[in-house]
């Protein structure tokens, strides 16, 4: 039975956006909440801001005035740390500095009962390190909410080396009772989300650095083909480059400079220039009043083909066949298990990217007019597709491939020949990092997918996604990226290797 009930008093330290949001979540679940901030008047201001947010919800009919008043009545600002003595759980949401967190928690141990659980909302500091100076480190647990806390579902429940497993289980149950989606993880750099998410930014930055595509086209493809709510450059501008770059550097350093987490020189340049994104009016995009957002690279209209030939199995791209038929294109099917799935349209051969340069794949298959296409979350719903022609492909072949996808209602972006293209390499790298976290016993596979969907709004969990793609295909993509770059960055996780070897 959990140690927490509706009668448990919850205390929150820090009345900024995150702290006030956590307090609102606890109050909404029926708890009496004590809100403290070292800055004079900050706790009351935090509650006042919550009241303004609730008033907007009342106006929109999302909640009743009665419920808003009841929630606010459970939020109690306090003036001193000693006023938290009655709390059963204290959650800190203060500055990300180890020494300050240790100091505050040390004071709490003197103020609160021995049974009081203390939780840190840290996103990057080791829970084990925070607990190292405490008298009762077994009572310390990570409780990492995501901003805005009242809306975002995920809570990472982090166990330090000395955390009592039952306390972690009780915090997990409490978070679930608050309507959250909790996941359990060990204290490790980046926990789950900030670790697994690094390739989302890193691969976009790498593609941009190598001229594979411009930022507006990369963002559009990640949204309109990959199904992500925002592309990597839009998201980095929103987060702030100072914050995003600092997290990347922190994870890179904490993993002893593992090349998989290598920071980007492009982002460092923005930070050095003070172009931090939306908050400074300029990042990858210009946010000034008269700024014009760069256009997405979109191919001109090309004629639709009358017929195509599909040879072999298209795997995850099989839904395209029905779309072609519905568009009135005659499809000739050739069953051949000995070849990779391919579509022939005029002189062009069209294939799902396998992580190779299209140019190299064209040479190996003796198909000079080869054009690779990118992975999509859902080929029926995607509104844009990327094509990467081989260097030796003719203009006529490229036009034939463009016309094929335009015939089924897709906007087409022609990108440079870059290994793995955009969505495919990003998804495979996200999943690979997820598998590595599981392999290192940070969490389980389900937690990876829950965390990435609930914490950063991914349209699909990365491990679930590559299972749909087929793990062996994802491994081929990673191996081909490794061959193309010769960098440890693209090494496959031992767990992925094992699963493919075992026929998973």
DSSP string for 371-422: EEE---S-TTT-SEEEEEE-TT--HHHHHHHHHHHHTTT-EEEE----TTTT
- Shortest CA distance to 442 belongs to which of 497, 495, 490? 495
Q: How far is CA 231 from the centre of its chain?
A: 11
The whole-angstrom separation of Cα 436 and Cα 178 is 30
365 is written with which tokens?
Answer: 């298959």
CATH of domain 307-414: 3.30.750.190
pLDDT at 336: 85
pLDDT at res. 342: 97
The conformation of residue 328, written as its DSSP 8-state character, comes to T
Q: Under the phi-then-psi rule, with left for phi > 0, alpha for psi from -120 to 50, and beta for the rest, what region is 190? A: left
Q: For 225-259, where are the alpha helices, taking DSSP H only? A: 232-239, 241-254
Residues 483 and 230: their CA atoms lie apart, in Å, by 30
Per annotation, catalytic residue among 175, 194, 369, 411 = 194
Q: DSSP states of 55-98 as a string? A: HHHHHTTSS-HHHHHHHHHTEEEESSGGGGTT-SEEEE---S-H
* Residue numbers of the chain with a pLDDT score lower than 70: 1
- Give this prediction's pTM: 0.94
Compute the distance between CA of residue 249 and CA of residue 267 in angstroms, rounded to an integer: 11
String of DSSP letters for 474-488:
HHHHHHHHHHHH--G
- 221-274 residue pLDDT tens: 999 999 999 999 999 999 999 999 999 999 999 999 999 999 999 999 999 999
Cβ neighbour number for residue 56 with a 10 Å cutoff = 10
**Catalytic residue among 139, 144, 175, 413, which?**
144
Domain boundaries, the chain: 10-187, 195-280, 307-414
Distance CA 264, CA 134 (A): 37
User: What's domain 10-187's architecture?
Assistant: 3-Layer(aba) Sandwich (3.40)
What's the pLDDT at 1? 66
Per annotation, catalytic residue among 28, 123, 139, 264: 123
Report the distance separating Cα 207 and Cα 215, nearest Å: 9
- The alpha carbons of the chain give a radius of gyration, in whole angstroms, of 26
Paired tokens of 478? 């990673």
144 is catalytic: yes
Nearest to 284 by CA among 267, 301, 263, 259: 267
Choosing from 92, 109, 156, 464, the catalytic residue is 156
Facing residues of 344 across strands?
Answer: 309, 349
**CB contact at 8 A, 27 and 75:** yes
Instruction: Give the separation between CA 427 and CA 375, rounded to whole angstroms.
Output: 9
318 and 368 Cβ atoms separated by less than 8 Å: no
Fold equal for 10-187 and 195-280: no
Q: Do residues 376 and 225 touch, judged by C-beta distance below 8 A?
A: yes
Start-to-end CA distance of the chain, whole Å, equals: 37
Q: Tell me the CATH architecture of domain 195-280.
A: Orthogonal Bundle (1.10)
**Is residue 156 flagged as an active site residue?**
yes
CA nearest neighbour of 162 among 136, 199, 196, 181: 136
CB 174 within 8 A of CB 89: yes
**Nearby residues of 3 by Cβ (< 8 Å), 6 or more positions away:** 88, 115, 117, 167, 170
- The length of the chain is 504
Token pair of 447 as six digits:
């937690």
| Pairing status of strand 348-352 against strand 370-373 | parallel
Helix (H, G, I), strand (E, B) or coil at 134: coil
Apex 273 CA angle, 457 and 202, nearest 5? 35
What is the C-alpha to C-alpha distance for residues 282 and 35, in angstroms, rounded to an integer?
Answer: 35
């Amino acid at each position: 039975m959990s140690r927490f009930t509706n009668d448990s008093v919850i205390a929150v330290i820090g009345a900024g956006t995150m702290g006030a949001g956590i307090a609102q979540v606890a109050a909404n679940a029926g708890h009496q909440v004590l809100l403290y901030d070292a800055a004079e008047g900050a706790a009351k201001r935090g509650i006042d801001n919550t009241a303004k947010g609730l008033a907007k919800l009342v106006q929109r009919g999302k909640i009743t005035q009665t419920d808003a008043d009841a929630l606010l009545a459970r939020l109690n600002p306090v003036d001193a740390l000693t006023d938290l003595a009655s709390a059963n759980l204290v959650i800190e949401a203060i500055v990300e500095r180890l020494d300050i967190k240790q100091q505050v928690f040390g004071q709490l141990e003197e103020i609160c009962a021995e049974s009081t659980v203390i939780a840190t909302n840290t996103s990057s500091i080791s829970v084990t390190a925070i607990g190292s100076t405490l008298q009762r480190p077994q009572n310390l647990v990570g409780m990492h909410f995501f901003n805005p806390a009242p809306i975002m579902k995920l809570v990472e429940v982090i166990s330090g080396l000395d955390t009592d497993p039952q306390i972690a289980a009780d915090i997990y149950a409490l978070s679930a009772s608050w309507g959250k989606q909790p996941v359990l993880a060990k204290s490790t750099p980046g926990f789950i989300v900030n670790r697994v998410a690094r390739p989302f930014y890193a691969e976009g930055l790498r593609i941009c650095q190598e001229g594979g595509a411009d930022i507006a086209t990369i963002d559009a493809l990640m949204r309109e083909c990959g199904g992500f709510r925002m592309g990597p450059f839009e998201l980095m501008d929103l987060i702030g480059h100072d914050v995003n770059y600092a997290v990347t550097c922190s994870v890179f350093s904490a993993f002893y400079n593992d090349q998989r987490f290598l920071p980007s020189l492009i982002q460092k340049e923005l930070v050095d220039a003070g172009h931090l994104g939306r908050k400074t009016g300029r990042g990858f995009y210009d946010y000034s009043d008269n700024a014009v957002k760069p256009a997405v690279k979109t191919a001109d209209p090309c004629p639709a083909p009358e017929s195509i030939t599909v040879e072999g199995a298209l795997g995850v791209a099989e839904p395209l066949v029905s779309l072609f038929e519905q568009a009135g294109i005659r499809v000739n099917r050739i069953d051949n298990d000995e070849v990779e799935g391919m579509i022939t349209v005029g002189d062009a051969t069209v294939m799902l990217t396998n992580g190779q340069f299209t140019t190299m794949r064209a040479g190996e298959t003796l198909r000079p007019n080869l054009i690779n296409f990118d992975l999509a979350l859902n080929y029926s719903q995607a509104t844009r597709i990327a094509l990467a022609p081989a260097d030796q492909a003719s203009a006529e072949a490229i036009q034939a491939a463009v016309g094929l996808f335009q015939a089924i209602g897709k906007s087409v972006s022609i990108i440079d020949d870059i290994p793995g293209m955009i969505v495919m390499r990003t998804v495979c790298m996200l999943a690979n990092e997820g598998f590595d976290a599981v392999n290192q016993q940070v969490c389980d596979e389900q937690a990876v997918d829950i965390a990435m969907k609930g914490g950063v709004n991914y349209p699909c969990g990365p491990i679930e996604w590559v299972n749909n793609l087929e793990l062996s295909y994802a491994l081929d993509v990673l191996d081909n990226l490794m061959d193309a770059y010769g960098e440890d960055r693209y090494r496959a996780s031992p767990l992925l290797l094992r699963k493919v070897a075992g026929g998973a």
